[in-house]
Amino acid sequence: MSDNQGFRPDWAQKDFYAELGVAKDATQNDIKKAYRKLARANHPDSNPDDTAKHDKFKAVAEAYDVVGDPEKRKKYDEMRAMGGGFPGGFPGGFGGGYAGQGGGQAGFDLSDLLRERAGQGGIGDMFGDLFGGGGGFGGTRTRTQARPQKGADVEASTTLSFTDALEGTTISLRLTSDSACPTCHGTGGKPGTRPHVCPECEGAGFVVASMGGAFSVNETCPVCHGRQLVYDEACPTCHGSGLGQSTRTVQARIPAGVKDGQRIRLKGKGGPGSNGGPAGDLFVKVSVGSHPIFGRKDHNLTLEVPITFDEAALGAEIKVPTLGGGPVTLKVPAGTPSGRTFRVRGKGARKKDGTMGDLLVTVQVEVPTQLDETAREALASYRAATAGHDPRGTLFGSR
């Protein structure tokens, strides 16, 4: 019976725990550590001429494929527990009669036992799950379902107005992404052809690749592409990849306060999963447009406001705009220098906790480019009255 035809008969006679050098009650983490250590030590790339280590590498990979999977391990333990009551394990091999003394048949056929148990959801189901059979024992049915796989993550970009970025908005995105091939529904096989356990990875979905020296990593199997199965003939539409393309429109909610260049993750909005796996995620990179008068610094808005010389010198109350609301009154104290920044609390961008940033108002003293006669005379009088004050005097005294 080949590997592609259900279970491996010799597995019932093997002690995978001993192969990995761990106890029967070892934790899954201990089993993984033992496998990685042995795989590195016996990897063919590191031992090109040592056939014994090549065989050991295959043996530990086979052992880990079973006891490294909690569900398979449970079935394997149950199988060995039942086999322990017969001399030498399971009598006569799987599905064969027990050869009694004197060379005659003892009248015991394990397949009868398994068929009986199968109707009760017992060992027949156990072997079907462990070795890929369809619930029967000794048959030729193959494993027809691979493990669920998460869909691909999808990247998209959008440009928001300054206001929408601050307040949050819902946008429509038209996405083109990988999806299951419409002909084979993601299996990669021509409809009507038989699936077989992948001979390259032996149904694991991954292979061990050497990284040089004693290091190795698991990589997606290049033959079955992680689906664990291969088919007699490839799908004529996707040529065995199992992939097609779909175009769809999704509604994406962009939260309030998003920044220019920020990457938003929308869980479950990416490519569809395969074999019942979850959908991937959608990552949206946001570009934020500028505003005619407002700027932004973290969660604060910025605004430059011109004031006159007399407002700066004598003090004043001025009106300044806010984004999305009415103007507020800002008190400018007497003697305010150009470039001073005032804080208007709660008039900035919304934060994740729902609170608001502030509006930072920077005043700039405006110098008139033209003066009428009255203003000129007034400034001349001011110059005469302050002739004794030299604002640059300290510059020369420090040389």
Alpha carbon distances (Å) from 189 to 142, 185, 186, 236, 252: 14, 9, 8, 8, 35
What's the total number of domains in the chain? 3
Residues 284 and 174 in one domain: yes
- 344 located within any domain: yes
Boundary of a domain, candidates 267, 288, 309: 288
End-to-end Cα distance, the chain: 99
Residues 103 and 169 in one domain: no
> pLDDT below 70 — which residues of the chain?
1-12, 83-147, 177-179, 211-214, 274-275, 397-399
Residues 100 and 16 in one domain: yes
Provide DSSP, 5-67. Answer: SS--GGGGG--HHHHHT--TT--HHHHHHHHHHHHHHH-TTT-TT-HHHHHHHHHHHHHHHHH
Q: Which two tokens stand for residue 119?
A: 């109707």
Residues 347 and 277 in one domain: no
Nearest CA-CA partner of 9 in 131, 141, 142, 143:
131
Nearest CA-CA partner of 167 in 265, 250, 258:
258
Residues 64 and 158 in one domain: no
Nearest CA-CA partner of 220 in 208, 206, 230, 210:
206
Residues 254 and 354 in one domain: no
Boundary of a domain, candidates 131, 164, 184: 131
Residues 177 and 281 in one domain: yes
CB 298 within 8 A of CB 355: no
- 372 located within any domain: yes
Nearest CA-CA partner of 75 in 131, 130, 119:
130
- 269 located within any domain: yes
Residues 94 and 188 in one domain: no
CATH number at residue 334: 2.60.260.20
Q: Quote the distance between the C-alpha of residue 200 and its chain's center.
A: 27
pTM: 0.47
Three-class DSSP category at 115: helix
Q: Quote the distance between the C-alpha of residue 108 and its chain's center.
A: 53
Residues 238 and 355 in one domain: no
Residues 22 and 76 in one domain: yes
- pLDDT at residue 212, as a whole number: 65
- 339 located within any domain: yes
- 117 located within any domain: yes
- 214 located within any domain: no
- 204 located within any domain: no
CB neighbour list of residue 214: distance below 8 Å, 6 or more residues apart: 40, 41, 43, 46
Three-class DSSP category at 112: helix
Residues 304 and 364 in one domain: yes
Residues 258 and 372 in one domain: no
Which residues constitute the domain of residue 330?
294-385
- 2 located within any domain: no
CB 363 within 8 A of CB 338: yes
CATH number at residue 91: 1.10.287.110
